[in-house]
């Protein structure tokens, strides 16, 4: 952690380079096609292991022909002595089909605008879930500097149940999710990012630079491998009526 700030592991069909390593430059020099995030590590964060009998499906006809590991270095002074870098991840691979398949559900806002000086702006995202049951076991939040707290919920029969809630200013790794909350056909999945526009003199939009913002809530889940749906996205703005019932904790910054 004195060398690396964070690492993201992606899976995809075609990496942007066929070299064994390259400089990914600014925003997303990872894959030619759509990259799917599979793992994240960030300094000081506890490692998240896949539960027993759970694996990501890779290779073959899975659409995951390559892993791309993106490493964000922190303080490069560790390399002044020109030693070789040995940062990385260890993956455990098996040819044995696993009973459960791991997947990632990404909720992201595409249209949030944060007004300068405004104390609170909420980015609300929600989608109906109309597939086979998933069992969340880890979650990750991502915003840039203005994000205060990001929370994800399952809504069933009008009742909001917390999947996870975290400050995006803490290491952006995967943290354990509330294990009691499964998601099944007919549920709604919702997330809120609370931002502040304090300290800004112009509007802040969703975008790739550190002066822009993002609102992401990632759910890592497992599901029965016979239905195997490994990656799901939700980019719909949640309705005002729905979010009238969001628990108050979604607007309480995380301290300590
Ligand atoms: C605009 C935005 O919110 N971008 C996010 C989420 C995102 C991830 C992937 C969007 C797309 C992707 O293919 I994978 I389209 C974003 O870029 N998040 C960053 C990483 O790039 C994954 C993050 O750290 O969560
Ligand atoms: Cu980092
Ligand atoms: Cu971002």
pLDDT per residue over 225-253, tens digit each?
998 888 999 999 999 999 999 999 999 99
Q: What mean pLDDT comes out for the span 190-196? A: 98
In a domain, 208, yes or no: yes
Structural domain containing residue 34:
4-79
Nearest CA to 172 out of 1, 36, 6 is that of 6
For the CA of 172, the nearest atom of ligand 1:
24
Angle at 47 between CA 71 and CA 250, to 5 degrees: 95
189 lines ligand 1 (CB under 6 A): no
Q: Kindly state the percentage of the chain with pLDDT values over 70.
A: 98
> pLDDT value at position 127?
98
Tell me which residues are annotated as active site: 5-6, 70, 72, 142, 144, 214
Contact 4, 44 (CB under 8 A): no
3-state helix, strand, coil in the chain (%, to 5): 5, 40, 55
Let me know if residue 256 belongs to a domain.
no
Do strands 188-195 and 121-128 pair parallel, antiparallel, or not at all (unpaired)? antiparallel
Instruction: Mark whether 197 and 162 lie in a shared domain.
Output: yes
Indicate the pLDDT class of residue 77, thresholds 50, 70 and 90: confident
Domain count, the chain: 2
Question: With 90 as the cut, is the pLDDT of residue 176 above it?
Answer: yes
Ligand 1 binding pocket includes 8 (Cβ within 6 Å): yes
Pocket test for ligand 1, best of 16, 108, 111, 206 (most atoms within 8 A of CB): 108
- What's the ipTM? 0.95
Q: Are residues 75 and 104 in the same domain?
A: no
145-160 pLDDT, tens digit each: 999 999 999 999 999 9
């Amino acid at each position: 952690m004195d060398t690396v700030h964070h690492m993201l592991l992606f899976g995809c069909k075609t990496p942007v380079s066929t070299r064994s390593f390259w400089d990914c430059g600014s925003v997303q020099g990872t894959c030619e096609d759509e990259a799917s995030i599979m793992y994240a590590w960030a300094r000081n964060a506890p490692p998240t292991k896949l539960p027993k009998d759970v694996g990501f499906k890779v290779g073959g006809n899975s659409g995951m022909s390559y892993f791309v590991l993106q490493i964000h270095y922190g303080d490069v002074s560790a390399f002044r002595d020109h030693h070789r870098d040995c940062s990385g991840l260890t993956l455990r691979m098996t040819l044995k089909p696993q009973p459960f398949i791991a997947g990632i559900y990404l909720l992201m806002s595409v249209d949030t605008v944060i007004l300068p000086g405004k104390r609170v702006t909420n980015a609300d995202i929600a989608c109906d879930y109309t597939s086979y049951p998933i069992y969340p076991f880890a979650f990750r939040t991502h915003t840039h500097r203005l994000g205060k707290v990001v929370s994800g919920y399952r809504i069933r029969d009008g009742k909001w149940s917390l999947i996870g809630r975290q400050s995006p200013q803490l290491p952006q790794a995967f943290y354990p999710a509330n294990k009691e909350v499964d998601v099944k056909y007919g549920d709604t999945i919702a997330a809120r990012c609370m931002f502040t526009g304090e300290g800004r003199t112009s509007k802040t939009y969703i975008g790739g630079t550190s002066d822009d913002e993002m609102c992401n809530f990632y759910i890592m889940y497992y599901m029965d491998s016979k239905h195997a749906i490994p990656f799901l996205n939700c980019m719909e703005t949640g309705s005002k009526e729905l979010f009238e019932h969001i628990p108050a904790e979604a607007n309480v910054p995380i301290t300590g």
